[in-house]
Amino acid sequence: MSFIVQVSYFAAAVLFIYGLKRMSSPLHARQGIVWAGIGMVIATVATLLHPALHGWLNFLLIILGIAIGGYLAWITGKKVKMTDMPQMVALYNGMGGGAAAAIAGVELVRMEEMSTTVQLLAVIGASIGTIAFSGSLIAYAKLQGLMRSTIRFPKQQYVNATVFGVLVILGLIIAFSSTYSMNTLSVFFILALLFGIMMTIPIGGGDMPVVISLFNALTGLAVGFEGFVLENPAMMIAGTVVGSAGILLTQLMAKAMNRPISNVLFSNFGDAPSGEGQAVTGSMKPIEASDVAIMMAFAEKVVIIPGYGMAVAQAQHKVWELVKILKDRGVTVKFAIHPVAGRMPGHMNVLLAEAGVPYDIIYDLDEINEEFPTTDVVLVIGANDVVNPAARTDPSSPIYGMPILNADKAKNVIVIKRGKGTGFSGIENHLFFGDNTRMLYGDATAMANDLVAGVKEI
């Protein structure tokens, strides 16, 4: 039976890797999810058959946990709005880190004979899993609007460093001793929870995509470490793959913002006050939807840049309807996606996929930036920092050096925006004041509907 269980774990791990590979492309991401799900079912059944599992109470607790967790996930997954997807991802990711930390806690409480290496891995998994748990909950609370975007106080980083230092010392005591007390273990977990909170509360909402990706990586690593503790190959491989993929994604997103991860975690950007950087000259020039419809209907090439404003308005379906009408008129239409647009990695891609937008007309920053000078109309829907030319021209701007979509180089730029305020990060967007930019004020769905009606009338 033990051989069958180990083979099942290995098969589950292979399916996890295959599923993750399939998820690398939107064309077959759904298949990847299905294959990874099959792997999870195999791993779960193998756990129920494990020789070390005995007693009806253990079976009852496992089945009860699966039933409760599965039911809650099914209900919340069905009901969650696309605008709330980032906070759901943060919440679920936190649960994974918490589960890994709980496994480590159980093993450390048992105080059974473990090698120093295994005990050290348990401590590492416990610490990063707990940090990911509490940090993800704070990220969820910020995205859900349950707490302020940033909370800062004097000497905050010094306080954080002190908490982390004490956490490391207690972790080493626990890892290299077999006589640690329950009080020491309890304080260790409390400090890990506290550090996860303390490192997340000063980070602004503009940096949440990077933070969510980082905590996802920590959760994966925690699961991998606990896999070594439990001698479970499925957890080892799956956790390591998720952790490494999360670290790579975090690095890519930080690169897309032209900022090191340390700057994201320890600087004050992400909730920057308006007014930083050079003063903006000129004024925002409004335009009517009927005029925009004429402009787009007779254009040769149109590029649409979606942002969080599109997600809030749930405008993706109307936007896709507009695109189909324009394509029927012979207009070439493409979507341009910035890596950090929205509130989580791939947020805009998910929204467009939900509306049925074909993947072959969706382009990332590197693929489309050279096309903007030959584009007749760029339609910006709720995006801000990712199209702000101050990132190229203003050394005093907090986003200076950040790669952006070069929308300002197009012949005409139309920006759909609710009002004249700054974006989520609080930085004034120089694009809105450009000579070739016109502001279409209003709700994104309502404006897209007016554009559809206007193009149809032409």
Could you tell me if residue 187 is inside a domain? Answer: yes
pLDDT score of 1 more than 70: no
Which of 235, 266, 297 represents a domain boundary (last residue)? 266
- pLDDT for position 281: 65
In this structure, of 6-15, 23-32, 192-201, 223-232, the range with the lowest mean pLDDT score is: 23-32
- pLDDT for position 413: 95
Could you tell me if residue 35 is inside a domain? Answer: no
Could you tell me if residue 163 is inside a domain? Answer: yes
Across 68-97, average pLDDT: 86
204 and 336 within one domain: no
Convert the pLDDT of each residue in 125-182 to its tens digit.
Answer: 999 999 999 999 999 998 888 887 778 888 888 899 999 999 999 999 999 887 788 8
Q: In what order do the strands lie in the sheet with 362-364?
A: 362-364, 332-337, 301-306, 377-381, 412-417, 437-441
Across 384-397, average pLDDT: 86
* Residues contacting 66, CB < 8 A, separation 6+: 44
pTM of the shown model: 0.78
Could you tell me if residue 22 is inside a domain? Answer: no
Cα(122)–Cα(35) distance, rounded to whole angstroms?
29
Cβ proximity of 48 and 9 under 8 Å: no
Count of structural domains, the chain: 2
Cα(81)–Cα(155) distance, rounded to whole angstroms?
38
Cα(80)–Cα(267) distance, rounded to whole angstroms?
32
pLDDT score of 52 more than 80: no
308 and 251 within one domain: no
Could you tell me if residue 41 is inside a domain? Answer: no
207 and 157 within one domain: yes
309 and 255 within one domain: no
198 and 104 within one domain: yes
Cα(308)–Cα(351) distance, rounded to whole angstroms?
10
Distance of CA 171 to the CA centre of its chain: 29
pLDDT score of 424 more than 60: no
End-to-end CA gap in the chain: 72
Cβ proximity of 314 and 445 under 8 Å: yes
Could you tell me if residue 146 is inside a domain? Answer: yes
Which of 266, 281, 301 represents a domain boundary (last residue)? 266
Higher-pLDDT residue of 66, 24: 66
332 — phi, psi (to 5°)?
-80, 120
Mapping DSSP to helix (H, G, I), strand (E, B) and coil, where does residue 301 land?
A: strand
Cα(396)–Cα(383) distance, rounded to whole angstroms?
21
Q: Which of 271, 385, 408, 450 is catalytic?
A: 385
257 and 294 within one domain: no
Cα(141)–Cα(135) distance, rounded to whole angstroms?
10
- pLDDT for position 254: 81
Known catalytic membership, residue 385: yes
Cα(186)–Cα(38) distance, rounded to whole angstroms?
37
443 and 366 within one domain: yes
Give the domain extent around 132.
80-266
Could you tell me if residue 7 is inside a domain? Answer: no
H runs (alpha helix) in 201-346: 208-230, 233-256, 261-266, 289-297, 308-313, 316-328
